[in-house]
Amino acid sequence: MELQSQLMLILQEDVQVRAPPVTLPRGVPKVSIFHPGYEKKYPPIFQFPALDDGGISYDVVYYACCIVTGNNWPSGDDEAKIGTDEFDAKAYPYLTKTNDHTAPAVDRPADGVLRGSRYFLYVPGYMDGGNEPYPITGTFRDWVYPHNKLPRPWRDVNIDPATPETMRMMTLMKESSSTTRYRDTSCRMTGGVLATEQSHLIPRAEAAWFNTNDMEAYMLDEFAQPAIDDLANTVLLRVDVHKLLDQKIIVPVPKMQNDLYQLVTNVLQYKQGTYSELVRVYHNRLYRPLEGVSPQYLFARFAWSLFSKETMPIFDVKRGNIAVLVRNETKEGEMVDENNNPILKRMVVSNRAQLGTSRK
């Protein structure tokens, strides 16, 4: 009886009673990022719910914009100059508050939160759009992974290396799901131990993309088969959390907290009636410590999660054309340059259904 009483006390201390979800009124604020080269009838490139103290994380918005415009973000010496007078923000994709390329570039706010409702994304070389609006990447399949150029938030997030014991178990266990469960022990987002399963950062359905983009470079086990099942590409999650992740409703992202980048859950979209529960239970919830997980795979998961009609609504325009970047494929295979990097070509589509077609 004494042991039972102790267990009950522990449970009472650990369990938090939550109020029933409340349905909020329509019209929850959103932050929209528009393409300056198109008319007002075009939907925004991106649309994010304003869940971070009335806004959205600047890093989430900025790197999303860079991902779909050619992976051009500050790196090397320029990255070190950010926040100083030496940094030229307009040498890279930049945001403005008005549809005017001469307007000041929006700097990263001191608290890292964008609170405006409308921004315009400019890309160097295209200026005000002109007769040839800059192209954007419209599908994850067409996105090329930027090796040796991992953005600072993902580079700086704390992930422990795989322990010798984990590496040993990885060789002993036949199924990667068993090794993931052994290593993580509980859901890495909620801490729950019931109804958990292995989830992939780069989804298994994207195995072809994984191989085409040479993502095996970040594996823990070079002999893993299939490669996408490598332990570095997996985490243990509760079943319902895994489903939300694969529906692109939530995504793990690094956010600055207490002067450190920490991995948290970010809500990318919601449906009427789910807002309160998603925000209270998931948004900005700190992940449990990760071990042996590749930050490169986390970044790829972030990119994958952006390509949805809810987050990227521009392709739902009616009677309009949008310039996109696609992989240049021929009957002989994909076109690459002398460094074996994919050569992308510019195409024009008029709706979402045309994305991913007519590549050859």
Question: Which structure tokens are listed for 30?
Answer: 């959103």
User: Would you state the pLDDT for residue 171?
Assistant: 86
User: Would you state the pLDDT for residue 11?
Assistant: 37
The vertex-219 CA angle with 263 and 230, nearest 5°, equals 85
Residue 61, C-beta contacts closer than 8 angstroms, at least 6 positions apart: 31, 33, 46, 48, 95, 114, 119
Specify the pairing of strand 113-114 against strand 56-57. Answer: antiparallel
Pick from 16-25, 288-297, 313-322, 324-333 the range whose average pLDDT is largest. Answer: 288-297
What mean pLDDT do residues 320-331 have?
82
Question: Which structure tokens are listed for 21?
Answer: 């979800």
Confidence band, pLDDT 50/70/90 cuts, at residue 278? confident
Report the C-alpha gap between 198 and 319 in whole angstroms. 43
Residue 56: enclosing H or E segment and its boundaries?
strand 56-57
What DSSP string describes 288-341?
A: PP-BS--HHHHHHHHHHHH-STTT-GGGG-SS--EEEEEE-EETTEE-B-TTSP
Q: What is the pLDDT of residues 286-295, one digit of tens each?
A: 999 999 999 9
Nearest to 322 by CA among 293, 296, 354, 291: 354
Report the C-alpha gap between 133 and 140 in whole angstroms. 21
Residue 71: is its pLDDT beyond 70?
Answer: yes
Report the C-alpha gap between 294 and 235 in whole angstroms. 10
Residue 243, C-beta contacts closer than 8 angstroms, at least 6 positions apart: none
Let me know how long the chain is. 360
Q: What is the pLDDT of residues 85-100, one digit of tens each?
A: 899 999 999 999 999 9
Confidence band, pLDDT 50/70/90 cuts, at residue 335? low
DSSP three-state, residue 271:
coil
AA letter at 141: R
Q: What is the pLDDT of residues 160-205, one digit of tens each?
A: 999 999 999 998 888 899 999 999 999 999 999 999 999 999 999 9
Structural contact between residues 33 and 119, judged by C-beta atoms closer than 8 angstroms = yes
DSSP three-state, residue 200:
strand
Report the C-alpha gap between 127 and 100 in whole angstroms. 9
Confidence band, pLDDT 50/70/90 cuts, at residue 47? very high
C-alpha neighbours within 13 Å on the C-beta side of residue 189:
27
DSSP three-state, residue 349:
strand
User: Would you state the pLDDT for residue 24?
Assistant: 47
Confidence band, pLDDT 50/70/90 cuts, at residue 10? very low
